[in-house]
A and B are shown apart, each in its own frame.
Chain A
């Protein structure tokens, strides 16, 4: 797609008006916004549960599904959803610890990529299909894909809204949550399904290989910036949104891929948050202070015991 023929104007309002005259840009912003919100929220749970690699693997499993769908002549998003959901439930059923098994996950991941390559080679059409699944093609998104994306996003939002507290509790303190009666296998499956659907729609924006940039990195930054899960999720969403919106805006004028701009922006912000933003407090002084105050507390509240 040739996008370098638009002239950038100093008046941003005019730029935005001009941009939104094009339907493909409208679609890109609609789907991009939905994906950024969902990736920001689900990503927080992914980071909290240390399932970053599992979510990365799910996107690769999705690649085989998308390639298979292309081969069969159906919409790739359905192949993506089928494979990621199947893979997600599979991982969850194998047990919570399966989600953290790097070697096994990596093995399955490589096999699925290989399978995808086979499907693509069997498909005699364009190699660009493979390219857009691997690296994302948000500017070519159709209105029916936008509809699917928005619907899936609303379902995820509703699910997270309903299960927010149990999901957070199980992610933070599994053993106590289990003792309190929450079902870990069930929550594990639900969580992996959420990740599967989020990954499937995010693939349209950044592609299978760059999924980390929306699903993991913004949430990892947000976790450093906020101590309350709710605030961290809001920040995570904002980072994803800013990266997606500004990248779409730049890509409208520059002939380079949107995915490149998104990944770069996320990467630069990550470097900033990781190395420049001061995050650690003085542990030593605090420790002294608080153990002193425990002794005082015991002395004060119950001198006899």
Chain B
């Protein structure tokens, strides 16, 4: 992180998300509980954990699509509610396939004005805003390409532009790396990091594997076995802290390049 950006982050330690004794799940089934965390403006946070651990649940709570089972979650000091324009969201699921012969800029434009009524005849300024969002993710030359022709990595950049177009203060990115090879994943993480630092937004990125993210993270939320651990990666991802939290023997191993492997948490496959 360069010094100017660091000064900005330090100056505005504005709390964006706060959770107290939070439990999430579905009626009759709690997926995880007892979570306490807070994220401030400009933090890059990874949410990691095995399949079905309830990572997407956290996103849904913040989006106001679901209510906590117990405890409280605050976003910008108030209860999350649906349709918050301060959120930029990249869902896990997308409806785009080989038949979606629609140019990228149109999708980004809709993320900007898609909730407004009317035909939107004055779409020129909308398209300009959309183009700027695409430029910000280095996808200006993809603007007029059809979505159907894009590779996985390119699509994720378009989705990021879609999330950025409304100039959000927090980004929720649900598994953007899941279909990317290592190189593309690294590129995308670098891009997200750039956005976080330049725009001073908070980003929550859900992922299976923390390693491509480690060099850039401010915080990590590790969700597994019904619990959630939060903190700086170097504090959370240690054998001692995870063993203490989960009460079973967990080993965190590091290779010579600083890559992390967490051993001892069983992959439990529930419905997420």
Contact = CB atoms under 8 A, between A and B. Distances in A.
B223 to A, nearest CB: 20
Chain B CB count within 10 A is highest, among A168, A180, A226, for A180
A305 B1 CA distance: 6
B149 A286 contact: yes
Nearest to B193: A305
Contacts of B193: 305
Interface string A273-303: 0000001110100110111011101100110
Interface in A204-251: 223-224, 226-229
Interface of A is mostly: helix
Contact of B120 (A165, A181, A293): A165
A281 B147 CA distance: 12
Given A302-B198, A305-B1, A178 B110 contact: no
A304 B194 CA distance: 10
Interface residues of A, number: 45
B94 A173 contact: yes
A283 B138 contact: no
B43 interface: no
Given A165-B115, A305-B2, A305-B194, A228 B87 contact: no
A182 B85 CA distance: 12
Interface stretch (B29-37, B100-108, B228-236): B100-108
A216 to B, nearest CB: 13
A176 interface: yes
Contacts of B132: none
Contact of A293 (B87, B117, B138, B153): B138
B232 to A, nearest CB: 19
Interface in A161-187: 161-166, 168-182
Contacts of B87: 179
Nearest to B93: A175
Contact of B117 (A163, A168, A226): A163
Interface residues of B, number: 55
B222 interface: no
A281 B149 contact: yes
Contacts of B149: 280-281, 283, 286
A45 B227 CA distance: 43
A228 B114 contact: no
Given A294-B138, A295-B187, A227 B101 contact: yes
A174 to B, nearest CB: 6
Contacts of B190: 298, 305
B107 to A, nearest CB: 6
10 contacts: A166-B116, A171-B95, A172-B95, A176-B89, A177-B115, A182-B115, A294-B157, A294-B187, A298-B138, A305-B1
Interface of B: 1-2, 63, 65, 82-83, 85, 87, 89-96, 99-103, 106-107, 110-111, 113-120, 138-139, 141-142, 144-146, 149, 151, 153-154, 157, 162-163, 184, 187, 190-191, 193-194, 197-198
Given A176-B91, A180-B85, 12 more contacts: A165-B113, A165-B114, A165-B120, A172-B110, A173-B96, A173-B162, A174-B95, A177-B114, A181-B115, A291-B154, A291-B184, A298-B187
